[in-house]
Amino acid sequence: MNSVNAHKNSNVQKILKLLEYVVCPNCHGKLRYDRNEHKLICENCRLAFPIVDGIPVLLLDKAQKLED
C-alpha cells in the first residue's frame, strides 16, 4: 500500500470511529459515512455534511440537501 492510500485509509478509520460519538446537528440522529462522496449522511434529514481535510463540517448552512 502506498503512502497516499495508507493516509486515506487512516482518515476513513478515524471517521468511522468518530461516528460512534457524533450525531446529526439537526435531528440528533445517526450519521453514516459515504465513501464515494466523502461525506457524512443523515438519512432522517436527507442532509450530506462535507468532510474537509479529514474534519467533518457539521454546520447546517454547509450541508447539502439530498435528492429523493
Rounded to whole angstroms, the Cα distance separating 1 from 40 reads 25
Does residue 22 carry a pLDDT above 90? yes
In what helix (H) or strand (E) does residue 39 lie, and over which residues does it extend?
A: strand 39-42
pLDDT in tens, 7-17: 567 778 888 88
Residue 62 DSSP class = G
Does residue 5 carry a pLDDT above 60? no
What is the pLDDT averaged over residues 40-54? 95
Q: Domain 3-65: give its CATH code.
A: 2.20.25.10
